[in-house]
Structure 1
Amino acid sequence: MKLTLRVKLLPTPEQASALEATLRACNEAANHVSAIAHTTGTKHNRALRAETYTHVKHNWGLGAQAAQHVIKKTCDAYTALTGSLKAGNLGRPGSQRHKAATGKPITFRRHAAQPYDDRMLSWQMEQRTVSIWTTRGRLKKLPFTGDDHRLRLLALHRQGESDLLTQNGQWYLLATIDVPEAPQNPDPHGFIGVDLGIANIATTSTGHRHSGRKLNRTRENDRNLRTRLQKKGTRSAKRRAKRHAGKEARRTRDINHKISKHIVAEAQRTGHGIALEDLGGIRERARLKKPQRVTINSWAFGQLADFIAYKARRAGVPVVHVNPAYTSQECSHCHHIDKRNRPRQAVFTCRSCGFVEHADLNASHVIGRRGWTTWVRGAESQVPALTVVV
């Protein structure tokens, strides 16, 4: 199973300046290559390399490997754009979104990530340093830091390229590792249903509720602060908003890691599988009031589902994805479906059999039962190769 580890670099100001100059040169070169690809229609790696390699290498002072990675990065971006257009993610042909996506070359931000292979980057794991190519020469003994467990995984299972990027003045390498998966449990005792929601971020059919009440107040304060800073619009307000956005994302990631770890550990301990709702297209399907739309769309439920999936794969816990339709309206006892079964947000009262339970807990039981049905029918979920940054 492939994962991406974020490793923090600790450069001196001079080294940081060299890294910044390198990213700037690589992305300026990528924008040049992108303009040629858009103008000529040449978007395959070999053909585009024949047209641009020499010019890119000499005009931006790039090494041979760096120039090839710049060209390949550009081709990969156009391949991703073609896939999005075919999938209809950018509207129909002739629409404004479609025209905006295809009417001009793809552009790369000044500090967009740049891939490095083993010829450009070498790791000294015992010394916790790297040797990395830059446009100002090779930087040797550049220190890095990270969690001991993750660094052990990096030393044992690192594969392929790593990406150099900067965020908020900090420098990172995103390294891909391929960790072995535990054998999947072929005979689970049942499935723990996980209901995702607003008042409770995650509710399991075993009775655990990960409350979102305190967190929702914090998120509302975050939104209010973000609104005030956007209205102010000064340079300092924009800087503060940027710092605060990073803090929000880190807090969300941390909470999702903790929730997913607890759910997977419980499933592994009890010999159960995990049943999740299929969240694909949930924002388009959901019919919610405006305040609810803001709340539910601002939480990374997809990230939480991905964290549960990859942790489950590492632990050998089977995961299934079920149809989310009517899970909040179906009775977990008699399976009667009626929107009147849920008179209030937290209350479920079956209009047929009179069963009463907390609404989120009832929904998690329904999801767990659907997960077992899916498993028995032999349609267990095959979680794709994930590229989760941990």
Structure 2
Amino acid sequence: MFLTKTVILKIETPDTELVETMQKYSEGMNHVSKVLFENGKTMGAMKLQKLVYPHLRENLGLKSQMSCNIPRQVAGCYKTLKEQIKTKKSHWQQVEFSPTSMTLSYKRDFTIDENTVKITTFNSSRKAYTILNYNHAKQYFDGSWKYQASKIVKHNDGNYFIHLSIEKEIPDKSIIEASTFMGVDVGINYLAVASTTDKKCKFFAGGKIKNLRNHYKSMRTRLQSKGTLSAKRILKYISGKEKRLMRDINHKISKEIGNYSAYL
């Protein structure tokens, strides 16, 4: 089976060239988003790419691989929006992108080693940036991991990081070697409940998380009922804040579950 991880490493030497590249990338994302929105319905990534590729390359001056990544990424966002519309969680709208995230393809857009990430920027074919490599992350540069498409992300504190996606094939453990099995259920009162065949049970993230979700739900309902531009801006802000918070909580819980299973 394959083990996948995302390793977050700080870029110590960001410069105006990297910032400008992310701005151009965002500009490309918003142009493609406008094209798709005005189409009135979702479309496949390849069809969308044929429509926007000349503009991305010739007018914005983006590199070839980025001009392919952008329509795929935007098409995926609108596919998600379509699913949300089906469940009445959203409505057809133009998705806007900020210059805080940029997707890169390994080898074509970036290469990386223990201390340096080399990125294809707007003004150069490949530019080197020093990364802060933590001791716990050095194991991911031992040659046994494969690097995947990754993201350059500007965090809320203003620092830039590479969210490095990695993958490694590990042998499946034979079921006859296992003596204890664990199942995990997800729910509302508790985000996760782990139970084992030897009748052990552990609950993860209970009432506080439920109260937090109810709090955000109440805020969304109140703001949506107002319908003003100011309310929409606040709604967009708290939506992003809630997503980041829940992503962080889910990441912590997944680690807790993994640690719990290790001691069974």
TM-score, L = length of structure 1: 0.49
Identity, in percent, stands at 16
Q: Secondary structure at the match of 1:113?
A: strand
Shift, 1:243, TM fit: 9.2
1:31-50 aligned within 5 A: 31-40=30-39, 43-50=43-50
Give the letter aligned to residue 120 of structure 1: D
Structure 1 equivalent of residue 164 of structure 2: 175
- Structure 2 residues not aligned, in runs of 5+: 219-230, 232-236
1:346-357 aligned within 5 A: none
- Contact residue 18 and residue 135 of structure 1 kept, 8 A: yes
Give the letter aligned to residue 24 of structure 2: A
Give the letter aligned to residue 154 of structure 2: T
CA distance in 1, matches of 2:145, 2:102: 22
Structure 1 109/140 Cα, relative in aligned 2: closer, same or farther at 3 Å? Answer: closer
Q: CA RMSD in A?
A: 4.5
Structure 1 150/182 Cα, relative in aligned 2: closer, same or farther at 3 Å? Answer: farther
Give the letter aligned to residue 56 of structure 2: V
- Contact residue 201 and residue 212 of structure 1 kept, 8 A: yes
Structure 2 equivalent of residue 261 of structure 1: 259
1:327-369 superposed Cα distances (whole Å, 9 cap, x missing partner): xxxxxxxxxxxxxxxxxxxxxxxxxxxxxxxxxxxxxxxxxxx
- Contact residue 129 and residue 141 of structure 1 kept, 8 A: yes
Structure 1 equivalent of residue 181 of structure 2: 191
- Contact residue 186 and residue 192 of structure 2 kept, 8 A: yes
Structure 1 34/189 Cα, relative in aligned 2: closer, same or farther at 3 Å? Answer: same
Give the letter aligned to residue 30 of structure 1: M
The count of aligned residue pairs is: 245
CA distance in 2, matches of 1:59, 1:254: 43
> Over alpha carbons, which structure has the higher Rg?
1
Structure 1 249/38 Cα, relative in aligned 2: closer, same or farther at 3 Å? Answer: closer
CA distance in 2, matches of 1:81, 1:218: 25
CA distance in 1, matches of 2:199, 2:259: 16
Q: Secondary structure at the match of 2:112?
A: strand
1:16-95 aligned within 5 A: 16-40=15-39, 43-82=43-82, 84=83, 89-91=84-86
2:119 corresponds to 1:132: yes
Q: Secondary structure at the match of 1:67?
A: helix
Structure 1 equivalent of residue 222 of structure 2: none
1:62-88 superposed Cα distances (whole Å, 9 cap, x missing partner): 122222222332233344445x2xxxx
Structure 2 equivalent of residue 109 of structure 1: 98
Give the letter aligned to residue 35 of structure 1: K
- Contact residue 116 and residue 164 of structure 1 kept, 8 A: no
